[in-house]
Amino acid sequence: MTVLEPFGARLRRAMDERGPLCVGIDPHASLLAQWGLNDDVAGLERFSRTVVEAVADRVAVLKPQSAFFERFGSGGVAVLEKSVEEARAAGALVVMDAKRGDIGSTMAAYAEAFLRKGAPLFSDALTVSPYLGYGSLKPAVDMARESGAGLFVLALTSNPEGGEVQHAVGADGRGVAATMLARLAAENAGEEPLGSFGAVVGATLGDLSSYDLNINGPLLAPGIGAQGATPADLPRVFGAAVRNVVPNVSRGVLRHGPDVVALRTAADRFAEEVRTAVTAS
């Protein structure tokens, strides 16, 4: 089996060439309705294929939200498999937003599903939850290294409830989120031009200067667009780490469908605004 170039290197090149933007594929029932599609597998397939056709050849990253496919059972998962395949064939990196987190053989099985080269749902990276302990992610870390894939670990999420766990302080006096960032920095030590193990850090969180975001890895940043953050906010939120930020936009682009040209125009506009904000910082 041919091992891919490490995810971090591939992501760095994609962001430099296409602009640092991730577009979510989030087929909410409300968006299907807005597009004039039925809330069924046929509507899901039309939605997903349209997004891939519109932007997979121009954005650095596409991020399908697995839950919105899984809700349709095996038919929805089949659509997800095809969407991943077609997005990667068009040159986009695929981050599977599945937020898996478990222990032992179960975590290893999740890693096999999403990170094993040749698996039907193989993706360039996977979102994972470390809240059974960072060490529980080892099977996913090992599989990612083996296949040239990456991980995005939940660290500082934008939902209000996240703080009760992520801001908790451990026996060593360090907050949980800070501990996760430190563990990721250790995973990425010495990697060039960018490590493959990133963190999820919300773009809506305001001043994060009390956290060391320089983990030598990517920072997946949801919250641009419908959730209220703008590309111009990125330098203030992420500081010196802003060049490694991968801002995620979902509804801000998807609401322009089903017109392919309108989707492309929206994605291009966000990509240019992000590039301008990052390079000006």
pLDDT digits 0-9 by tens, 106-117 = 999 999 999 999
Active site residue 99: yes
| Structure tokens given for 99 | 């937020």
Output the pLDDT for position 4: 85
pLDDT digits 0-9 by tens, 243-266 = 999 999 999 999 999 999 999 999
> Does the pLDDT at position 104 exceed 60?
yes
Is the Cβ–Cβ distance between 262 and 270 less than 8 Å? no
13 sits in the region (left: phi over 0; alpha: psi -120 to 50; else beta) called: alpha
Output the pLDDT for position 225: 78
Instruction: Categorize the per-residue pLDDT at 178 as very low, low, confident or very high, splitting at 50, 70 and 90.
Output: very high
* 9 membership: H or E segment, kind and range: helix 7-18
Catalytic residue among 82, 99, 117, 138: 99
Is the Cβ–Cβ distance between 269 and 14 less than 8 Å? no
Provide mean pLDDT across the span 176-190: 98
Task: Give the type of residue at 146.
Answer: E
pLDDT digits 0-9 by tens, 57-71 = 999 999 999 999 999
List, in sequence order, every residue forming a beta bridge with 64; answer none if it has no partner.
Answer: 25
Q: What is the mean pLDDT of the chain?
A: 96
CA atoms within 13 A on the CB side of 89: 9
Residue 245 to residue 231: CA distance in whole angstroms: 11
> Does the pLDDT at position 1 exceed 80?
no
- Cα maximum dimension of the chain: 54
> Does the pLDDT at position 3 exceed 80?
no
Output the pLDDT for position 16: 96
> What is the Cα 278 distance to its own chain's centre?
18
Instruction: Tell me the CA end-to-end span of the chain in Å, nearest whole number.
Output: 41
> In sequence order, which residues have a C-beta less than 8 Å from that of residue 151 and are 6 or more positions away?
125, 126, 127, 128, 137, 140, 141, 144, 196, 197, 198
Output the pLDDT for position 279: 85
Output the pLDDT for position 135: 97
Residue 273 to residue 277: CA distance in whole angstroms: 6
> Would you call 109 helix, strand, or coil by DSSP?
helix
Output the pLDDT for position 281: 66
Return the percentage of the chain with pLDDT > 70, whole number: 99
144-158, 202-216, 221-235: least confident range? 221-235
Instruction: Categorize the per-residue pLDDT at 227 as very low, low, confident or very high, splitting at 50, 70 and 90.
Output: confident
State phi, psi for 154 to the nearest 5 degrees: -60, 125
Provide mean pLDDT across the span 17-30: 97
Residue 148 to residue 197: CA distance in whole angstroms: 11
> Does the pLDDT at position 179 exceed 90?
yes
Provide mean pLDDT across the span 167-183: 95
195 sits in the region (left: phi over 0; alpha: psi -120 to 50; else beta) called: beta
